Amino acid sequence: MDVVLTVGLEDIVAARAVTSMVAKHTPVLSSPALSEQTGHTVALKAESLQRTGAFKLRGAINKLASLGAGAAGGVTAGSAGNHALALAFAARHFGVPCDIFVPIGAPISKIEACRAYGANVVELGASLEEAVAAAHARANERGMAFCHPFDDPAVVAGQGTLGLELVEDLPEVACVVVPLGGGGLASGVAIAVKSQLPGVKVIGVQASLCAPYAGGDAPTGPIATLADGIAVKRPGELTGPLVERWLDGVVAVDEDAVADAMVLLMDRAKLYVEGAGAVGVAAVASGLIDLPDDATTCIVLSGGNVDLGVVPGLIRRHETEAGRRLVVTATIDDRPGSLARWLGAFAGAGANLLEVDHLREGVDLHVRETGVHATFEVRSPDHRRAVLAAVRAAGFDEPEVQTA
């Protein structure tokens, strides 16, 4: 049988009867910021507000339901992310054991969340591949069901229920932009949408550091990307042909675009979206997709499980790019009150001190001098220039301004 025919609209409709008892019907929200920026009508499918924080719950619920009595011995998977959370939640819902294998060093927050859902979490190995192999071994040893994160018809059908909601809530949609990792979500959504509205274009978005569907080579070793949730190195045996059959195109976005998209969603949409979930916004904001005129484009925000450790760096980068950070290095007299007077010149011009360090080692200084490295918050590039002018007017030498 042609693999393209193994998942159809009827499978997705049947999956909805199961998933709707657990998964939320997530909202479609207008995006004034992106609409203004692009000159087109843009909406957001906020799947980041789903239970467990991502779309994966839809596929996990449908998979366990499809197993029936086959799940009685428990389920297992190798995952350090949203699939692990979804499977643990689904296993608790069905009352079956769940073993999750994660690489050593996986995010503590996700490990603890899986345990809170009742899963047995085992940390081993240095890579996800080792964790998946261990899950397969556990399944064989104890008669548990191994649950693949995307390459499974029941999972694809479950993820496709998002597409049914989208058509109901936004029947005027002309283009759907969806994150593309293993392909379960993208293909499921495309089948659900295009089976009902054939004229709608569905575009998949990958991270450029790992973009096999966009023609990139499969990288080796760990992949350092903000969009780690879609960093799947090879298309699935099932999902690969489905993506090729149902999607109208695939684009790839770089890390800077992903970072900008995450901040834009926090700042302008008040949505907390992980890198993998924000790639569609990155693609649209970067102009990589031709948006339809006089029609609506909907971007799927697939997940909201942001690594909290990433957020300060995102904000610092954004503030610097927007000209709201002033980082300077200067040499001043090493006498009582000199530092206070120097900082006072900045404060008098409205700059807010964030951090200051003395530099006395490894720099060429007179015995009565000290180096100072300081970071200030300013309102705009124009304000930054005004602050530097005020420092000069106060009698201090022009500090060396850092560009990043």
Q: Taking the chain, what is the end-to-end CA distance rounded to the nearest angstrom? A: 56
Together in a domain, 61 and 179 = no
Structural domain includes residue 265: yes
Task: Decide: 18 and 53 in contact? Cβ < 8 Å.
Answer: no
Annotated catalytic residue: which of 31, 48, 56, 201?
56
Does 4 have pLDDT greater than 60? no
Together in a domain, 44 and 93 = no
User: Of all helices (H) and strands (E), which one includes residue 351?
Assistant: none
Given 293, 313, 333, which residue is the final one in a domain?
Answer: 313
pLDDT tens-digit series, residues 225-251: 999 899 998 999 999 999 999 999 999
CA–CA–CA angle 372, 374, 377 (5° rounding): 160
Confidence category of residue 359, pLDDT binned at 50, 70, 90 = confident
Together in a domain, 24 and 157 = yes
Together in a domain, 285 and 180 = yes
Confidence category of residue 402, pLDDT binned at 50, 70, 90 = confident
Confidence category of residue 1, pLDDT binned at 50, 70, 90 = very low
> Rounded CA gap, 9 and 238, in Å?
16
pLDDT tens-digit series, residues 297-322: 999 999 999 988 899 999 988 988 88
Together in a domain, 134 and 72 = yes
Section 379-389 average pLDDT: 94
Structural domain includes residue 318: no
pLDDT tens-digit series, residues 182-224: 999 999 999 999 999 999 999 999 999 999 999 887 777 778 8
Confidence category of residue 363, pLDDT binned at 50, 70, 90 = low
Together in a domain, 295 and 174 = yes
Structural domain includes residue 61: yes
Together in a domain, 92 and 189 = no
Given 256, 279, 313, which residue is the final one in a domain?
Answer: 313
Given 146, 168, 186, which residue is the final one in a domain?
Answer: 146
Together in a domain, 87 and 132 = yes
**How does the average pLDDT of the chain come out, rounded?**
93
Q: Among 16, 7, 302, 320, which residue's Cα sits nearest to residue 165?
A: 16
Structural domain includes residue 187: yes
Together in a domain, 196 and 166 = yes
Instruction: Provide the pLDDT for residue 179.
Output: 98
> For 106-180, where are the E strands, in sequence order?
120-123, 145-146, 173-179
Q: Among 333, 327, 356, 360, which residue's Cα sits nearest to residue 343?
A: 356
Token look-up 């619920």 returns 61
The CATH number of whichever domain residue 397 belongs to comes to 3.30.70.260
Highest-confidence segment of 3-7, 101-105, 152-156, 232-236: 152-156
Structural domain includes residue 194: yes
Section 78-97 average pLDDT: 95
The CATH number of whichever domain residue 111 belongs to comes to 3.40.50.1100
Instruction: Provide the pLDDT for residue 368.
Output: 78
Instruction: Provide the pLDDT for residue 86.
Output: 97
**DSSP one-letter code for 118:** T
Together in a domain, 162 and 238 = yes
Instruction: Give catalytic status of residue 63 as yes or no.
Output: no
Instruction: Give catalytic status of residue 233 as yes or no.
Output: no
> Rounded CA gap, 384 and 377, in Å?
9
Number of domains in the chain: 3
Together in a domain, 240 and 291 = yes
Over pLDDT 90: what percentage of the chain? 79
- What's the number of CA atoms in the CB half-sphere (13 Å) around residue 132? 9
Strand partners, 78: 101
Does 268 have pLDDT greater than 50? yes
Together in a domain, 222 and 278 = yes
Confidence category of residue 2, pLDDT binned at 50, 70, 90 = very low
> Rounded CA gap, 184 and 158, in Å?
9
> For 209-288, where are the E strands, in sequence order?
249-253
Instruction: Provide the pLDDT for residue 388.
Output: 95
Section 313-333 average pLDDT: 89
Does 370 have pLDDT greater than 90? no
Domain containing 341 equals 323-402
- What's the number of CA atoms in the CB half-sphere (13 Å) around residue 100? 32
